[in-house]
Amino acid sequence: MRSHEPIVAIATAPGRGGIGVVRISGRSLDAFLSRLFDASLRPRHAHYLPFKDKNGQAIDAGIAIFFKGPHSYTGEDVIELQGHGGPAVLRRLLDHCLDMGKEFGLRHAEPGEFTHRAFLNERLDLAQAEAVADLIDASSEAAARSAMASLSGAFSAQVNTLADRIVHLRMLVEATLDFPEEEIDFLEKYQARETLEGLRSDLYALTQQARQGMILREGLHVVLAGQPNVGKSSLLNALAGDDVAIVTPIAGTTRDKVIQQIHIQGVPLHIVDTAGLRETEDAVESIGIARTWAEIEKANVIIHLQDARARNDVLDTAITRRLPARTPVLKVFNKVDLLEKSDQAPFLAQAHHSANQQAWPGPDVPGNTLPEQALGISAKTGAGLDALRQKLLEIAGWNPSAESPWLARERHLSALNNAGEHLALANEHASHNDRVLDLFAEELRLAHAELSSITGQFTSDDLLGEIFSSFCIGK
């Protein structure tokens, strides 16, 4: 990004609203400000005035605020024009700013460029900058609270504390390398092993918190799969609490995927209802079935929904064999309410394990057992749905008692895991008979670099471009 050029963009979301904001940022905007309003604005004070075009005609009337750098969001001079939120009004105001700013090199901002400049000017570190986008995209109160905690620096503070402790140990090791005769006594003299063990323990705890934060941010991609008319759409509606999918007694009603986001204890789940799986000569239904298998390949969790009245069905067995082995599959038997009362109890037990399976006196194979990890539900009455929700959280690895106070991304978790591997290798070198301190020091350096990549101290330009390009324009 051309960070020396002033930039402008509409900072509010597209569409109509009571208020709309046009934001401008640059290294020195005093001259542009005088050109725009033919007057000076007192920094950090709200000025109500007309926004006029070059012919003196009023475009709008609103509030202008001037933030003098470095005391601004980007660390540069920032002007915010707050007017009415009509698309046509904001577009005219934006075009007027671009016209008045031509001689100053003013251009339209690229996605995420305001926040990128805040990062470059050290107003935010990289984890905090990412939290800006996460706060905007938060789909639950829990996610919004955690994103705000990340934005305030809670995650970065823990990462930086751990990185500083690694640097301190590195300093001792590398100082010792200059005096080879002291290498033998270093590990004992400075309790390096004990210090390293404490670092590994605290890094593990931080990694577990990050895993919780990533679950809260990313959620789960859950695909409902099974034969036609087993109740996939009914289950989607029951979980969503609304009629989001069409339900009829006719098998094969769903021809294409239907996606609905729900929240369980603040964790987002993207539930995908799919076309029923069966052999068919219907061209349209065949396309839907092909799309179902495509969704199954992308799933984090597959709910294989079956009819409780038709256990050991040949087609269900064929579907099970084709499901990807790498993806968790939860067998769920629906329509338990249609069974005889005496046959319902085993189905409504939660999360069966192989060592504790119950006899299933089902209508087709008397004395059969429920499969391991199977659940019985009724999408119609709601029976068993709470157990299903809890099981989905369990598969996700969500632990409410260990809820992260901040959000995390996959790259954060990857960096923490990599740092853990380097500390484990450092521990091996410390335990080796040769006690090769130069290798010990190198693993500490690599662990420190991984942690620093989280906050952006050591980050490639390609990664920065990828991160900020995902932001909305105006942010």
Nearest to 415 by CA among 375, 386, 456, 376: 456
Q: Among the residues of 219-273, which ranges form H helices?
A: 232-240
More confident residue, 152 or 243: 152
Q: How confident is the model at residue 287 (pLDDT cuts 50, 70, 90)?
A: confident
pLDDT at 356 over 80: no
Residue the block writes with tokens 């934060």 = 213
Q: Are strands 368-369 and 359-360 parallel, antiparallel or unpaired?
A: antiparallel
The confidence score (pLDDT) of residue 369 equals: 45
pLDDT at 116 over 90: yes
As a whole number, mean pLDDT of residues 367-382 equals: 70
The confidence score (pLDDT) of residue 354 equals: 30
CATH number for 7-124 (one of 3.40.50.720, 3.30.470.20, 3.30.1360.120, 1.10.10.10): it is: 3.30.1360.120
Which of 18-27, 149-158, 416-425, 435-444 is the least confident region?
435-444
CA 446 to chain centre: 26
List every span in the chain annotated with CATH 3.30.1360.120: 7-124
For the stretch 24-68, pLDDT in tens is 999 999 999 988 987 788 999 999 999 998 888 999 999 999 999
More confident residue, 97 or 435: 97
Nearest to 386 by CA among 289, 264, 219, 471: 264
The confidence score (pLDDT) of residue 404 equals: 64
**Cα separation of 137 and 142, whole Å?**
12
The pTM of the full predicted model, rounded to 2 decimals, is 0.78
**Cα separation of 275 and 280, whole Å?**
12
Q: How confident is the model at residue 267 (pLDDT cuts 50, 70, 90)?
A: confident
For the stretch 332-350, pLDDT in tens is 999 888 887 767 776 665 4
The confidence score (pLDDT) of residue 43 equals: 94
Q: How confident is the model at residue 433 (pLDDT cuts 50, 70, 90)?
A: low
List every span in the chain annotated with CATH 3.40.50.300: 220-400
For the stretch 65-74, pLDDT in tens is 999 999 999 9
CB of 333 within 8 A of CB of 346?
no
Question: Mean pLDDT score of the chain, rounded to an integer?
Answer: 84
pLDDT at 460 over 90: no
The confidence score (pLDDT) of residue 58 equals: 92
> Which architecture, in CATH terms, is 220-400?
3-Layer(aba) Sandwich (3.40)
- Indicate the CATH number for domain 133-215+406-469: 1.20.120.430
List every span in the chain annotated with CATH 1.20.120.430: 133-215+406-469
Q: How confident is the model at residue 285 (pLDDT cuts 50, 70, 90)?
A: confident
- For 431-454, letters b (16+ CB in 10 Å) and e give eeeeeebebbbbbbbbbbbbbbbb
> Peptide bond before 70: cis, by omega within 30 degrees of 0?
yes
